[in-house]
Amino acid sequence: MVEVTGSTPVEPTREEGDASDFRRIYFTLDDGLHDFWDRSNSDFFLSNQMATIKLTYPDGSVKEFEGGVSGNDVAKSISSGLAREALAIEVDGEVWDLSRKIDHDAGVKILKWQDAGGKYAYWHSSAHLMAEAVECLFPGTKFGIGPPVDHGFYYDIDMGDHTLSPDDLLKIEERMVEFAKRDVSYVREEKSWDEAVAYFKKKGDPYKLELLDGLKGETITLYHQGNFTDLCYGPHIPSTGRIKSIKLLSVAGAYWRGNEKNKMLQRIYGITFPTKEELDEYLFRVEEAKRRDHRKLGKELDLFVFHDISPGAPFWLPKGMIIFRELEKFLRSELDKRDYQEINTPILVKKDLWQQSGHWDHYRENMFCVENDETIYSLKPMNCPESTYVYRHRLRSYKDLPLRFSEIGRLHRNELSGALGGMFRVRQITMDDAHIFCRPDQILSEIDRLIELVTHFYSIFGLKPSYNLSTRPDNAMGDPTLWEQAEASLKKALEKNHIKYTLKLKDGAFYGPKIDIQIEDAIGRQWQVATIQLDFVMLPERFQLEYIAEDGSRQRPVAIHRAIFGSFERFIGIITEHFAGNFPTWLAPVQAVVLPITDAHQEYGAHVHGILKSAGLRVELDDRSEKINYKIREWEVKKVPYMLVVGEKEKNNQTVSVRQHTKGDIGVMAMSEFVDKICREISEKLITS
C-alpha cells in the first residue's frame, strides 16, 4: 500500500518494463488521475497540483483545465468517440503523445488517423514495433534511426554479416502482428544525458551513443514498449494495439547518417494501416506507381535518358525538349502578365559570393567547386545571391518596388550518388526561380499574388495544392525578431486567403521561413513542389540592399524567394507519372498522327498532314505499308492524343475519321471541325483524358 497526502491509500495498478531500468509504477488515485512514482526517489509527482491553464481548440473556442492535463483527458472531455479515435495531440503546432502532460496555455488539436500528425505518430510507433520484432528474431542487432516518412516508415539496422532475405521480412512481419496484439503502451521516459549514455553503453549500442554525442546538456527521452527501448524524441500513439494491418515492403542499403564514408546499414521499409482495406488500396497504388514510373515512360516515349557519363543529369531527347519548352513558354507568358522581368546570371561564381550569402557555411558540402589561378569557384547551387547584383546595379527608389526578377537558371548540387533517383533527385537542376524585392508594406499583396499564381498554375494540370508553414530552424541566421516578423507575415497571408495549412516547426530555410506547397497526383501521392520564402536576413542584410524611401532615408527591402515548378526536371517527372505519359494535347510531343489505310490514300494523308502543320500542330504522317490496325496499336502505345485515319470515304468527303487516345473512335469530322477542336483544346490547355 502507498499513501499519498490528500488521497486514500492505493495499490499500484500496473508496472511496465524493467523497474531497474526506468522504474515507473502507475497508480489510479481516488480522483481518477493516473500518476507515477519513480523508485529512483521517494516522491510522487502529482499533476493535479498545477495551476489552471487555457487550451484553445482549432475552432477558436477556449476551455480551462487543471495544469498537467493529458491529451487523453482533453479528448475525453470532448467526446468518448474522439477519445477512441485519438492517436496524438498537437500542442502549439508540435505533435505530442496523448499521455504527455500539458502545463501551459496552448493551442491544441486532437489528431486522428486522417490527420498528417496522426499518421506521423502511427508510423513512428510502427517503426519501433518493427525494431522490437527484429531484436527478438535477431538478437545482437544494432539500431540506427527509425523515422516515419511520407508513406510509412523505415529503420536502419546493423546485423553484422547477416543479409535480410524476403523470408526474413515475412518472419519480422508476422512477429510484428503478434506483438501488436499484446496492446502494450508506448511509455515516454526522461533521463539526464549521463543516465542515457550509461544505459546505451550497457546495451552496447554505438549508434545511439553517437547520436547522444550531439545532445550533450539536453534532457533525453527514451520510449519503451514491450521489451524494446529506444532513444527517441517521439511522438507515439497510445499502444501497439492500434496497429492493425502491416506490410514490410523492401530492404535497401543506407550509409549511416547519410555519409558514404560511414558503414552501410540495412534499411527496412514498411507501411501500416488501421484497416486491411486501406493497406490493400495502398499496395494497389504502389503497383500503379510502378506502371507510371517516369524513368520507364521517359525511355519508352523517347523523352529523356540517363548515362553514367554524367550521373544525376538527364540527356533530353527531342520529344522531351518539346515538353520542356512548352512549360517554359507557359511559364514566361504567365509571368509576363504579372510584370516579372527575366534575368540571367552566371553559372560559375567565386566562393566569395557564397561566403557573403552564408551558403559556404550552410551548404558547402552540396556544392561543386573548381580552382583556377588559385581562385576557388563554385557552380551555383541556387540563384538567390546573384540576383542582388542585378538589384544593386543602380540606386533603387521606393517607387521602383516591387521588383520581380525571374530566372530560369541552371543549377548544380552535389547530391549523394545513393540519393539520386531519375528526375526526382538530380545533380543538374533547371529552376523556375524568382526573387521579389519589395517594401515591408507590400509583403502581403505580393504573397497574395503568389498564392493566386500557384493556384492557377496547378489547376492547369488538374493538381490541387495544399500548404505548409515552415518556421525558424536551429541553424537559422539573423535576428530572431526579424524571423518572428517574417513568420507572422506568412501566417497572416495564408489566413487572409482562407487557406488551411500545416505548421512545420523548425523546417524553414536557414535564412527565412517559408510556405511549402504540396500537390496530390492522380494516385494520391503527395509531392513537394512550389515554395515561397520570406527573407529579411540573407539577401537584404548580408548584401546591404537599400532603396530610397519616400522621406529620403535609406531602407532595407524585403526579399521573397519563390519557385512554382520547383525544378523543371522534377516537375516533368511528376506530371509524367501523374498523366501516366498521356500528356494533355498542349504538352504532347506529337499531338496528332495521320494514318492512311493503304498506299492509295497516302496522297490524301499528306494533304491532311499539311493542313495540320499549317495550323501549327505537331503532327506526323505514318505512310508505312503496314496494316491499319497494326499502326493504330503502335500509336496507342506511343500515347499520341489523336489518330486521324484516312481511307477512300474520307478522301472523297474531305473528312477524317478521328480516334482519341484511350477513348477510341470518336467519329468522322470535317477537317475544319477537327482543327477547331484540337486548336481550342491546345489554347485552353484542356485535360481531356
Q: What is the CATH number of domain 116-289?
A: 3.30.980.10
Confidence of residue 267 (pLDDT cuts 50, 70, 90): very high
pLDDT at 19 over 70: no
Chain centroid offset of residue 286 CA: 17
Strand partners, 345: none
- Give the mean model confidence (pLDDT) for residues 471-487: 84
Q: Could you tell me which residues are beta bridge partners of residue 514?
A: 470, 533
Local confidence band at 220 (pLDDT 50, 70, 90 cut-offs): very high
39, pLDDT greater than 70: no
Report d(CA 236, CA 153) in Å as an integer: 13
- In the chain, the percentage of residues whose pLDDT exceeds 90 is 75
pLDDT tens sequence across 195-215:
999 999 998 999 999 999 989
Is there a contact between 633 and 639 (Cβ–Cβ < 8 Å)? no
d(CA 122, CA 326): 42
For position 35, what pLDDT does the model report? 40
**Can you give the pLDDT at residue 2?**
36
Of 338-342, 417-421, 544-548, the range with the lowest mean pLDDT is 417-421
DSSP-derived secondary structure for 613-681: HHTT--EEE---SS-HHHHHHHHHHTT-SEEEEE-HHHHHHTEEEEEETTTEEEEEEEHHHHHHHHHHH
pTM over 0.85: no
Where along the chain do its domains lie?
A: 50-111, 116-289, 339-578, 592-683
The answer to whether domain 50-111 has CATH 3.10.20.30 is: yes
> Looking at residues 571-587, what average pLDDT do you find?
96
Residue 620 pLDDT class (50, 70, 90 cuts) = very high
DSSP 466-518: EEEEE---TT--S-HHHHHHHHHHHHHHHHHTT--EEEETT-SBTTB-EEEEE
DSSP structure string for 47-73:
GGGSPEEEEE-TTS-EEEEETTEEHHH
pLDDT for 689 equals 66
Q: Are 548 and 398 in contact (CB under 8 A)?
A: yes
Strand 94-96, strand 88-91: pairing: antiparallel
What pLDDT, on a 0 to 100 scale, did the predictor assign at position 661? 95
**Other Cβ atoms within 10 Å of 101 Cβ, number:** 15
Q: State mean pLDDT over 580-596.
A: 97
Mean pLDDT of all residues belonging to the chain: 89
Residue 104 pLDDT: 93
Per-residue pLDDT of 274-287, as tens digits, reads: 999 999 999 999 89
Range from 299-303, 479-483, 547-551, 652-656 carrying the lowest mean pLDDT: 479-483
The pLDDT of residue 32 = 39
Shared fold status for 50-111 and 592-683? no
Task: Answer for the pair 514, 470: CB distance below 8 angstroms, yes or no.
Answer: yes
Q: 546-581 b/e with 16+ CB inside 10 Å = b?
A: bbeeeeeeebbbbbbbbbbbbbbbbbbbbbbbbbbb
Residue 506 falls in which region: left (phi positive, over 0), alpha (psi -120 to 50) or beta:
left
Which of 511, 493, 516 minimizes the C-alpha distance to 559?
511
Query: Residue 24 CB: number of other CB atoms within 10 A?
Result: 19
Q: pLDDT grade, residue 50 (50/70/90)?
A: low
In CATH, the number for domain 592-683 is 3.40.50.800
Give the architecture (CATH level 2) of 339-578.
2-Layer Sandwich (3.30)
pLDDT-based confidence at 172, cuts 50/70/90?
very high
Record the cell numbers describing residue 37, joined without a space.
Answer: 512514482
- How many CA atoms does the CB half-sphere of 149 hold within 13 Å? 14
From CA 54, how far away is CA 61, in angstroms rounded?
10
Q: Which residue has the higher pLDDT, 8 or 668?
A: 668
Q: What is the pLDDT of residues 409-418, one digit of tens each?
A: 899 999 877 6
Q: Which helix (H) or strand (E) holds 396?
A: none
